[in-house]
Amino acid sequence: MDKNIKLIALDMDGTLLNNQHVVSDRNKEAILAARDQGVEVIISTGRHYQSSFEIARELDIHYLITVNGSEIWTLDGELIARQTLDSEIVMKLMELKEQHGTWTWLASVDEVFSNEAPEDILAYEWLKVGFDTDNDQTKEEIIQTITDWGNVEWSNSSPTNIEINAFGVNKAAAIKKVCERLNLSMEQVMAAGDSLNDIKMIEKAGLGVAMGNAQQIVKDKADYITDTNANDGVAKAIEKWVLRK
């Protein structure tokens, strides 16, 4: 494949970050080298803005796609776009939590709640709800229920969790908005990730890259499989497809 890559979109956990949750020197060097060639590098993560900003600042990343595409930020804190999850849906998801006894987390615009919801759910603007369980039957039952609703997007950021966003929210849709802002096309994007919340951006990008540690379904959708996040897989993909080393 001869790709004219002008934008690199990187997931964070399991992708850009190694198993110590830091960016390796080789990954940093590859990102800087790509930028020196005029390639925009952005973060596209399931994390909240508050827990991804420091990594973006460390790398001088100009755009952050957060909470699986619910928000798009600039490094200087400008909110470009936001799509919230209806509070009534969050209440129904909390009923599912009680029914199945799973661990949950809830991301609002301002904060993240671990395994409990505030008393007045309707008073908050919500971005995402997550379930975590290693019980496959419970996962399947929750997935079937929310799929039947037909009004949310679901994915995961690890094999044991389910992440629920507003309908239409995904990383690919958010990357497209950034591309429009920069007068680029999705064909000029290289997107790299490891989990279900990365599949749509991997499918829609001109070059979709799965990490060596990615879930198998992600690898099946990718154009190219790089090394693992523990072995500088992001750098190796950039070196091959952008720097042409």
Catalytic residues: 11
E runs forming strands in the chain: 7-10, 40-44, 63-66, 71-74, 79-82, 103-108, 112-114, 126-132, 152-155, 161-166, 189-193, 207-210, 224-225
Enumerate residues 6+ apart whose C-beta is below 8 A from 70: 82, 83, 84, 85, 127, 128, 165, 166, 169
Angle at 212 between CA 229 and CA 188, to 5 degrees: 85
Asked whether 223 and 191 are in contact (CB, 8 A), the reply is: no
3-class DSSP state of 66 = strand
DSSP states along 83-152: -PBPHHHHHHHHHHHHHHT-EEEEEESS-EEES---S-GGGS-EEEEEEE-S-HHHHHHHHHHHHHH-SE
E runs forming strands in 176-222: 189-193, 207-210
